[in-house]
Amino acid sequence: MNDSWLNKSQFVQQLNDYYLQDHDSFSPDYPTIPSTIGMYPSVDEMTVYSLMSKINTNKATNREDFPSGVSKNNAHTLAQPLTDIINTMLQSGKFPTMWKRAEITPLNKVRSPQTFKQLRPISLLFHLGKIAESVLSNLIKQEMPELKDQFAYTKQRSTTDALVKLSTDIAYNLDEKDNIAVQALLLDFSKAFDRMLPDSAVRKLLHLGVTPALVQVVKSFFCERRQRVKYADTCSE
């Protein structure tokens, strides 16, 4: 490991600053979200109970979080109050502040990393916050138009389906009269998830006709997030 990283307190703070550098210079320009008075989606207790009963207790969570096994083993008791919290979130348009706190654990991309770029940031979140995210995501998916040419993050579709479609499109175009070649443009976005523009996501959801109340929660989900880096027993600010 790089000698300059021997001071763990300095290391975690510098790494936290490194992960924030793409965001500190960005000032989002959110669109105006239409009023949502009286148009609030909701979730039922059985749906929340089902999500709680499927919690993977082997996954690590934020150090500030309580054991996820408590929620899973007591889902029959905790589903009702959690449902109330999530429905309040949907009505108020505010994603709970505590659930927007992330604890980042750096993992090595290579055997002996020498730069921050060679460390992969793994964000540990609150497990109840993940359930709220799932509810929000499922409600949005119900209102999204079908995307016939999208294979990633789509149920019952895989990379194999994408390759089959690509091969079919190539064969179809080569069968056309006078066509002697097919061109394809493949793009790979650097840090596609880390650098996603939240205001563009909000604008796109509105354009697709998603209920404004849901879009308001998405905007709240993006805003005022906090993170810290944890390495061994040392945490950044």
The closest alpha carbon to 129, from 99, 91, 89, belongs to 99
pLDDT (tens digit per residue) in 117-154: 888 888 999 999 999 999 999 999 999 888 788 888 78
pLDDT in tens, 198-215: 999 999 999 999 999 999
Domain boundaries in the chain? 3-145+196-235
Report whether pLDDT(92) > 60.
Answer: yes
pLDDT digits (tens, 9 = 90+) for 22-64: 777 778 899 999 887 777 899 999 999 999 999 999 988 888 8
